[in-house]
Structure 1
Amino acid sequence: MTQRLDKQTFQTVVAHTPLISLDLIIENTNGQVLLGQRLNKPAQGYWFVPGGRILKDETMAQAFSRLTKEELGIELQLSDATLIGPFEHFYNDNFSGNDFNTHYVVLGYRFRLDISLSQLPKEQHCHYQWFDVATLLDADDVHHHTKLYFISK
């Protein structure tokens, strides 16, 4: 069974190790990408793809199902998505402040889903919007790490 760490222990982990996470690159049938405006650090206030950490003793498949349920309100399976690759995210702050940085190793998964913005959970993102790729690449308030999912390698 997976469980979350207490704040002090998690601060120690974030200060000393990279975190592993899954990002959900969701496209609707019009080719637009779902972004949410982040409520929490890191990347607070920026438009970002949904996603989150893999917890200890949680498989990637379990994490994907949990994260789609938490972030989208719909539980999906890892087999519904395509891995677009590993990415690294570095932030100058962390979930609890600015006293140390955050390092993520992120597995990006792309899938197609038409979902109503009004039914999306508000715990991690205060607003949601569908973006055309050209628009998100040009926007100053879309986070650099999100833009990297759409720039050809």
Structure 2
Amino acid sequence: MWLDLPTFNTVVASTPLVAIDLVVRNTRGEVLLGLRVNRPAYGFWFVPGGRIQKNENLDSAFRRITHDELGHTFERAEARLRGVFEHFYDDSVFANAGAGPDTHYVVLSYCLDLAQGQTLQPPTEQHQHYRWWSEDELRISLRVHEHTRAYF
């Protein structure tokens, strides 16, 4: 269930959001990152991911998020849980309209390894560009958001 903007603003200001992040690797071990076009983390390279909706179980959320973020539906059983992380941001999606609340996420990070020859068709609503990064490269790049670097 998606919330209307005033209700969502109240939620962001009042409670943590729960999300799934996707550490997607190709067969060379490179990690897929997208250049964020929305707040928070605007202008940074970040792993794909998304919020879990109310009354959405984890398996359904994983299928929806992989479809929406990668253009291909994966099952949660195909991935490995990397861990649970906390992300704190000084801004929120509402910062574009002026002052808005800060954002707190509790994130379930999953690693998803692509099969040889498997391709993705990620959309551009959340990320302007996509590219594959080596772990060494993304660990040291200040263009990669600290919350993404924390996964490595």
Partners of 1:129 and 1:38 in 2: CA distance: 12
Indicate the residue corresponding to 1:107 in structure 2: 108
Residues 82-112 of structure 1 deviation map (CA, whole Å, 9 limit, x = unaligned): 0011000000000111432100000000010
Which 5+ residue runs of structure 1 have no aligned equivalent?
A: none
Which 5+ residue runs of structure 2 have no aligned equivalent?
A: none
- Out of 2, 5, 18, the position equivalent to 1:4 is 2
Indicate the residue corresponding to 1:35 in structure 2: 33
Structure 1 stretches of 4+ moved >3 Å: 114-117
- Out of 66, 69, 82, the position equivalent to 1:68 is 66
1:116 Cα deviation after fit: 4.1
- Out of 42, 45, 63, the position equivalent to 1:44 is 42
Identical amino acids, percent of aligned pairs? 51
2:120 is equivalent to residue 121 of structure 1? no
Contact 2:69-2:123 at 8 Å conserved across structures: yes
Partners of 1:116 and 1:65 in 2: CA distance: 17
- Report the TM-score when normalising by structure 2: 0.94
CA RMSD of aligned residues (A): 1.1
- Secondary structure of 1:149's aligned partner: coil
- Out of 134, 138, 143, the position equivalent to 1:132 is 134
Q: How many equivalent residue pairs?
A: 147
- Out of 131, 135, 144, the position equivalent to 2:146 is 144
